[in-house]
Amino acid sequence: MRSLCLILIAIFLAAASPSGATEPARPDKKDRCPVCGMFVAPYPDWIATIVFKDGSQLFFDGAKDLFRYYYSLPNENDTRTRDTIGKIYLTDYYSTRLLPVEQVFLILGSDVYGPMGHELIPVAGEEAAKTFAKDHKGQKIITFEQLTPQLIPVD
């Protein structure tokens, strides 16, 4: 009975989220990146995800493909729009935890490659981002608000 009560409380709290967004799930072995088609579960250190206001979720094999998708909305292959997005999560390079996009800095042009080559590297905290950029030849540190489609690596 206690387990049932805890489950009901968890469901109620998830439904009561003010933005309609829920915490991200982790991908299973059949989830594919909607941009490149790669399976994402084999790359847990690079997973990026969009949680939509309706609770649905898309997984990506890195920040680069997530932002390619984000800037393509709306598009002919998907009825979603940017207005339907509840939250965006990126995996922090150092802790490998999924964090809200507002909590990370993006490093451009580093010598670190992701599953799809050159990558936008998410790092939590400005000091950690500066250290990463120095250690890995990062060319620029930006926030999500500063990102434009032109800054996304092309390979």
Q: Is residue 143 part of a domain?
A: yes
Q: Is residue 99 part of a domain?
A: yes
* pTM (predicted TM-score): 0.84
Q: Is residue 14 part of a domain?
A: no
* 48-88 residue pLDDT tens: 999 999 999 999 999 999 999 999 999 888 889 999 999 99
SS3 assignment, position 120: coil
Q: How many domains does the chain have?
A: 1
Q: Domain containing 69: what range?
A: 20-151
Q: Is residue 69 part of a domain?
A: yes
